[in-house]
Structure 1
Amino acid sequence: FVIEDTQRCAFITASFHFYRFCLCSSFSKTKQILLSSGSEKMLPHLHAPQNLQGLSSAGQLSLVLWPHQCEVIRDRIEHIDWTPARPEPLYTPTGLEMKPSYQPASEGTVIYLTEEANKYSGFVYSRVRGLCPSKQILHQNEDNTLIFEARFESGNLQKVVKVNEFEYQLTLRTDLYTSKYTQWYYFQVSNTQAGMPYRFTIINFTKPNSLYKRGMRPLLYSEADAKKRNVGWQRTGNEIKYYRNNVGQGGQQYFSLTWTFQFPHNRDTCYFAHCYPYTYSNLQEYLVAISKDPVKSKFCKIHILCHSLARNIVYVLTITNPHEGDKDTKRKAVILTARVHPGETNSSWIMKGFLDYILGNSGNAQVLRDNFVFKVVPMLNPDGVIVGNQRCSLAGQDLNRKYKSNLKEFYPSIWYTRNMIKRVMEERDILLYCDLHGHNRKKNVFVYGCERKQQAKAPNLHPRVFPLLLSKICPDKFSFPDCRFRVQKSKEGTGRVVMWKMGISNSYTLEASVCGSKLGQRRSTHFNTKDLESVGHHFCDALLDYCVPNMKYYLCLKEHEEMVKQQAKVNSEGLNSDVLDRDSR
């Protein structure tokens, strides 16, 4: 066949890189992917070997693979699990917050600059770790300049400019192989001075609206606090302002987030993050613990669903109690997925809460495992999580718009998930599908569902019943009025819509705010990790009430019927009003 010049150059260049890396024994062989940005145009690629190791019966971790151009420090970053004694309040603006303007590097000092990974046209190959021989320290021992680092799992800092003694301007790396998607941030700071008024300003956000405009505060983690006081992630910051700045690139307008704060200790190592980090390694450690547990491993089977573009494993869990004879085929299936968008880390905490509950030894967990077969894909986009992307995979694409695509080699986790669900549908009925997400513009927890104008007459098949039930169980966090059930054309490639069109009536996207709640006693407070895990617990409670009807279930059905009647009345009055207006004309 004929290859265009650009394609020929890409193929020759890629072949050279592939040959070169094959000569290096420290690299893991993997598939070569070249994908035109913003399209599904296929370019030549090389197929990969299929012999990479997964999670063994002994519970050993598989290696974490990175794109070859990503530098990775040797240090393993770990954080303790901790919850504040009281919910942390949102920030209340004073109206006096400053809006620092963009400062060119020539007017400051560049103190951190990673290799520009996005100068490459696309993902070429992966390796175990792009290890840095040592950290670059750009200061003398007596200098108080902060030391920044983000070359670790899920970090994504690109550049830091020191504006003055206690003020720093930060630029985030965009999603790999794209020029956009900046929202998630996670980076390390050391060489700190306690009690001094620092200001950080991130200058290249791309969204005009943000929960930082509505009281959200950044997260701070102090290693000294963790070691001395057993205190983990805390909300921090004053003079918080999110605003349009005087910077742009390629017609794209940028927005800044600025905040002031004080470090708690001298010579500390601290971390800042948009939301509570949950890495691919965190997931693997969780799965290893399950595989080593003599009880949980009997009813939770961990399998390899597929490999990502970088050859990282996408896991699928099958959870159900052992069965006898034909009883298994009568059990309905429940499908849960998460982290298709890497920066929405709160979805992993909800997934953890769900798994903790369903793998527990409570009577309710036993009932659920007796009645259902759970298929769980806890991390759909491990590559994006590893490199610190906000939204995309290494194909530079939003995977939650690719569920209709047949490009298995470009979007493997999506293709294999859809195919797995098709196989499950051939074996048993699927009661519910839910894809867990995080929301960056709204507060509370809510769902997006799907319904037709002429919905099924049987009320228990109506997609509004389950979220209504969840809102009764979780009233301080879950908001039924925030739920939406329209099927928009722009969402037709999402998991929720595609699974609904495949025949799953209860097909949802569950959204949890990265900020917090505006409901009940939790009004104007941030969510912490235990709050997010509790949403996973309550999801199981709602599922139990849904499958084993009780008084709460019947009250929800009655309330739903009243809502339908009320809506029909409003629609009828609107129709009559239109007729009268037409007659009067």
Structure 2
Amino acid sequence: MCPALKRDAEIKISVDPYESFMLQHLRHYGLFASKRSALKDSPHRTASFQNILTASSEQDHGFILLEKNSSSSDDLHSDSEGGEREIHQRLKPAPRSRQLLLDSDRACSIPRLREPQGLFTALSLSSPHRAVRWPSECQVIKEEIRHIGTNTLRSQGPHQPEWEPAEPELFYQPTGLERTPMPVGSDKGRVVYLSDPATKTSHFTCACVGGSRRPVKTRTVSPSGVEDSALEFESRFESGNLQKAVRVGLHDYELTLRTDLYTTKHTQWFYFRVRNMKVGVTYRFTIVNLMKSRSLYSLGMRPLLYSERAAQTQGLGWHRAGTNIKYYCNQSESEGRLLHSLTWTCQFPFQEDTCYFAHCYPYTYTDLCRYLSGVTSNPATAAYCRLRVLCHSLAGNAVYVLTVTSPSAGREAGRAKRAVVVTARVHPGETNSSWVMQGFLEFLLGDSPDARLLRDTFVFKVVPMLNPDGVVVGNYRCSLTGRDLNRNYCTLLRDAFPCVWHTRNMVKRLMTEREVLMYCDLHGHSRKNNVFMYGCEHHGNAAARLHERVYPLMMSKNVGDKVSPSDYTLLIVKH
């Protein structure tokens, strides 16, 4: 290799841009020139270059080049290759850290760790790093599902719902004449929708953006060449979980829900789409594989309906609908357990509409990301709200944590603040907990005097969605492990239960820094009304038992129409 090429190759050894930049300048100033007289004939240039090296080493470039007056005349006038090797030896990374800050609050400077930066100040769902990840065997349609009233953010301020009922919706009043259809099945009916079983294996293996790589096939089954009046069903979208639809009458449909992935149970939540309906026709829907013996549907709750045409023409969002509602045991079994049915009738408001039915107001993982994107892009909240990724779920979806507090006057004042931890959606089918969480965040990030007082007094750690994988695939209770995360907070299996493991670890770490005043986990019950609370059990500790009752008492005083002290219990009973 010729000397010139050899020098160029050695210079390219350095991968640091600043080091390469300085080496090029060393050559420019003649240090690596083949003529020994390059620097010898120019004392001014030699002195100037030494000053440049000294000044550069004093800056935070992370390299020690040459100390002033450390090189003799023989060093500076060595041959080109020897001088270049010496510079390479001296251009070694010096130990440095951008995470240490000098605390000047005290008499002497004390190093401390820099506060973590907000990693995702603006979430972008179009980015492959932010796209929703599904189990690789799940087929997912490419259509984007959007509903009015779900996280349509305004840049001028906090989220305001586009639509909400003008007045509370009435319960269904049973007449005693409601029908109780028994399951018929595909033997006596015609299958009009059948989704591929999402669990090819008994356990989760891998995930990818958008689910299965195979082409998404049409799952609505109709006779070829014949105009069919059957409804068209679909649920292969985020939080959807309809497995099969069987036409058992002219306008009657028997529906089977998919169980939680990698399990054979947990069916209560439902969310699916319907098309090809006719106006003035009364349709009956019967879900035949519900597993709970009791339900709020027996007390007047009605399914939720969303019509795209009604949303476009009337601004009408999700609303309670349906008549002839009945929840009952249908005498069929699954693994030795009796199954129950929910039946209702409905007339659709528009011809050839696209409608959705749901157990509760849907709140998907994408909805959360849109909401957090609006929060982090709002300059008004940037001073007291920081968003980070706590961990990633089993499928690789981000579990976000927000830190909300006002800037403190000093380090000691910041340390004196007590902490409040709020989490939600450990059970994916309890979507009402996400709506309560969003309302809590909107209040806490708002401009009211109470919100400012809370931010000035406390440090809030908020994990708005503990089980994003379960939310994505439409589970009711479990994660992709097939286990209830709410029963695994004490787990040692970090890789199997990352969401609750990292949440627990965050709380433990927080307790070493400051007092944690309260931990509040938001849920939604399938058989209880209003707002109620479960507390921690403290056997033999009277002071702790009294302390646990303070917050429920405060709630009952502030919102007595929704919270009663009698709705608080320390005795946890499995329902």
The TM-score with structure 2 as length reference comes to 0.74
Q: What is the aligned partner in structure 2 of residue 17 from structure 1?
A: none
Q: Which has the larger radius of gyration?
A: 2
| Equivalent residues of 2:330, 2:340 under 8 A apart | yes
Alignment of 1:10-25 (within 5 A): none
Given the alignment, which residue of 427, 451, 454 partners 1:341?
A: 427
Q: What is the aligned partner in structure 2 of residue 49 from structure 1?
A: none
Shift in CA distance, 201/306, structure 1 to aligned 2, threshold 3 Å: same
Question: Given residue 261 of structure 1, which amino acid in structure 2 is its aligned partner?
Answer: C
2:331 and 2:123 map into 1 onto residues whose CA distance is 52
SS at match of 2:548: coil
1:281 and 1:399 map into 2 onto residues whose CA distance is 21
Shift in CA distance, 55/166, structure 1 to aligned 2, threshold 3 Å: farther
2:493 and 2:198 map into 1 onto residues whose CA distance is 25
Q: What is the aligned partner in structure 2 of residue 158 from structure 1?
A: 243
Q: Does 1:79 align with 2:147?
A: yes
Higher relative contact order (CA 8 A, sep 6+): 1
Q: What is the aligned partner in structure 2 of residue 279 from structure 1?
A: 364
Deviation at 1:248, TM superposition (A): 1.3
Q: What is the aligned partner in structure 2 of residue 118 from structure 1?
A: 199
Deviation at 1:353, TM superposition (A): 0.5
Question: Given residue 185 of structure 2, which amino acid in structure 1 is its aligned partner?
Answer: P
Q: Does 1:465 align with 2:553?
A: no
2:122 and 2:468 map into 1 onto residues whose CA distance is 22
Residue-by-residue CA offset, 1:53-84 (whole Å, 9 max, x unaligned): x9633432311000011100010101101211
Q: What is the aligned partner in structure 2 of residue 386 from structure 1?
A: 472
Given the alignment, which residue of 481, 506, 526 partners 1:395?
A: 481
Percent identity between the aligned chains? 54
Given the alignment, which residue of 145, 148, 154 partners 2:230?
A: 145
Q: Does 1:328 align with 2:414?
A: yes
Alignment of 1:194-343 (within 5 A): 194-325=279-410, 326-343=412-429
| Alignment gaps of 5+ in structure 2 | 1-117, 150-162
| Equivalent residues of 2:420, 2:460 under 8 A apart | yes
Q: Does 1:101 align with 2:165?
A: no
| Alignment gaps of 5+ in structure 1 | 1-53, 492-585
Residue-by-residue CA offset, 1:455-489 (whole Å, 9 max, x unaligned): 44499x6211211111221122223212111257x
Shift in CA distance, 399/192, structure 1 to aligned 2, threshold 3 Å: same
Q: What is the aligned partner in structure 2 of residue 173 from structure 1?
A: 258
Residue-by-residue CA offset, 1:316-367 (whole Å, 9 max, x unaligned): 1100011122101100000000000000000000000000000011111111
| Equivalent residues of 1:455, 1:462 under 8 A apart | no
SS at match of 2:297: helix
Q: What is the aligned partner in structure 2 of residue 452 from structure 1?
A: 538
SS at match of 1:105: coil
| Equivalent residues of 2:387, 2:402 under 8 A apart | yes
1:476 and 1:188 map into 2 onto residues whose CA distance is 36
SS at match of 2:248: strand
Q: What is the aligned partner in structure 1 of residue 508 from structure 2?
A: 422
| Equivalent residues of 1:239, 1:259 under 8 A apart | yes
Q: Does 1:373 align with 2:456?
A: no
SS at match of 1:95: coil
Q: What is the aligned partner in structure 1 of residue 273 from structure 2?
A: 188
Question: Given residue 144 of structure 2, which amino acid in structure 1 is its aligned partner?
Answer: R
Residue-by-residue CA offset, 1:296-326 (whole Å, 9 max, x unaligned): 1221111010010000000011000111221
Shift in CA distance, 104/59, structure 1 to aligned 2, threshold 3 Å: closer
1:457 and 1:245 map into 2 onto residues whose CA distance is 49
Question: Given residue 142 of structure 2, which amino acid in structure 1 is its aligned partner?
Answer: R
1:130 and 1:86 map into 2 onto residues whose CA distance is 40
2:197 and 2:544 map into 1 onto residues whose CA distance is 56
Residue-by-residue CA offset, 1:264-299 (whole Å, 9 max, x unaligned): 111000000000000000000111111111121221
Question: Given residue 208 of structure 1, which amino acid in structure 2 is its aligned partner?
Answer: S
| Equivalent residues of 1:118, 1:178 under 8 A apart | no
Question: Given residue 221 of structure 2, which amino acid in structure 1 is its aligned partner?
Answer: L
Residue-by-residue CA offset, 1:72-105 (whole Å, 9 max, x unaligned): 0010101101211111111111111111011020
Residue-by-residue CA offset, 1:464-517 (whole Å, 9 max, x unaligned): 1211111221122223212111257x79xxxxxxxxxxxxxxxxxxxxxxxxxx
1:403 and 1:85 map into 2 onto residues whose CA distance is 41
2:120 and 2:543 map into 1 onto residues whose CA distance is 48
Q: Does 1:60 align with 2:117?
A: no
Residue-by-residue CA offset, 1:35-69 (whole Å, 9 max, x unaligned): xxxxxxxxxxxxxxxxxxx9633432311000011
Alignment of 1:344-363 (within 5 A): 344-363=430-449
Shift in CA distance, 408/455, structure 1 to aligned 2, threshold 3 Å: same
Q: What is the aligned partner in structure 1 of residue 64 from structure 2?
A: none
2:539 and 2:120 map into 1 onto residues whose CA distance is 48
2:122 and 2:540 map into 1 onto residues whose CA distance is 52
